[in-house]
Amino acid sequence: MFLVLPTLYLVLGAFQNAAGTFTFDNIVGIFDPPNLSNYIQCQYDSWISWVDGNCRLPTILAAYWISIKISLASSLIGAFAGLAIAIAIVRGGLPNWIRSATLTFSGVASNFAGVPLAFAFLATLGRLGLATVILNTVFGLNIYAHGFNILSFWGLTLTYVYFQIPLMVVIITPAIDGLKKEWGEAAATLGATTAQYWRMVVIPVIWPSFLGTVILLFANAFGAIATAYALTGSSLNIIPIVLYAQIRGDVLHNPHLGYAIAFGMIVITGLANVFYIWFRTRSERWLK
């Protein structure tokens, strides 16, 4: 009830105007047809003339695209780093206390977000952050002079990676645990090398779990707003912040357009969850 009713309220609101009558204007407003046509024409002209026309997507579509890119980047980085850590603590021959400590920390860190995480990164990698000052003072490396900015695409991506990696560790560790010892012994008996065992046995078995977790990490980052808003404010145009401006803003106040934006986010995250469930079902056949 707590999930279905709010979703229905958003969906109905996306197809209503302020008077409560049915309309598609909110959905059409996401695409901003005049500016979208100009963007398509600009892309075509740039392709024909081989000159960058500095084409710009309409504001809301651009916000969706930036959010998708940040979510993809943080989910892929977090997935590969988390997979490496999970393999190390499960099959790396490390002491059991390291595994327990890593999983405990991952369980806590995966839920560390919002204002505290934003403040932590500003205090560490801001212009006067601890790491920034140490790198500049001790090593003579000014990361901001080399293009880094905590209030940018890569700054927000790096912040998201902080909770994406431990979430990946927590989710993928059971899949690594599910690799049966007999499979390795059978492969060795048949003359397979370690590389062949990983390439022909391990990777095909954990691949569905890995892809499913990447999709879950994508959905996790796509809907995050507290960390992004506390870190960047309105300087980075991602879709949760655009949604917040439409629902709560003083200037861009248009709740029904906000409902349409939220409906688009529900569609994207819903598709991501469908693929996650499908990949998880495939992986469970091997890991029972």
Structural domains for the chain: 59-286 (1.10.3720.10)
d(CA 181, CA 184): 6
CB atoms within 10 A of CB 105: 12
d(CA 170, CA 85): 10
Tell me: pLDDT of 72 over 90: yes
Averaged pLDDT of the chain:
86
pLDDT of 252 reads: 58
Tell me: pLDDT of 55 over 70: no
CB atoms within 10 A of CB 109: 18
Q: Which residues contact 166 (CB under 8 A, 6 or more apart)?
A: 82, 105, 106, 107, 108, 109, 110
Q: How far is CA 50 from CA 14, 36, 40, 128, in A?
A: 40, 20, 15, 42
Token pair, residue 81, equals 């780093």
Confidence of residue 214 (pLDDT cuts 50, 70, 90): very high
Q: pLDDT tens-digit profile of 241-279?
A: 888 888 776 555 778 888 999 999 999 998 988 888 888
Tell me: pLDDT of 137 over 70: yes
d(CA 211, CA 281): 12
State what percent of residues in the chain have pLDDT above 70.
87
CB atoms within 10 A of CB 26: 22
Contact 43, 61 (CB under 8 A): no
Q: Which residues contact 178 (CB under 8 A, 6 or more apart)?
A: 205, 286, 287
Tell me: pLDDT of 67 over 90: yes
pLDDT of 33 reads: 67
Provide the β-strand partners of residue 229: none
Lowest mean pLDDT among 47-61, 70-84, 124-138, 200-214: 47-61
Q: pLDDT tens-digit profile of 146-157?
A: 888 998 899 999
Confidence of residue 48 (pLDDT cuts 50, 70, 90): low
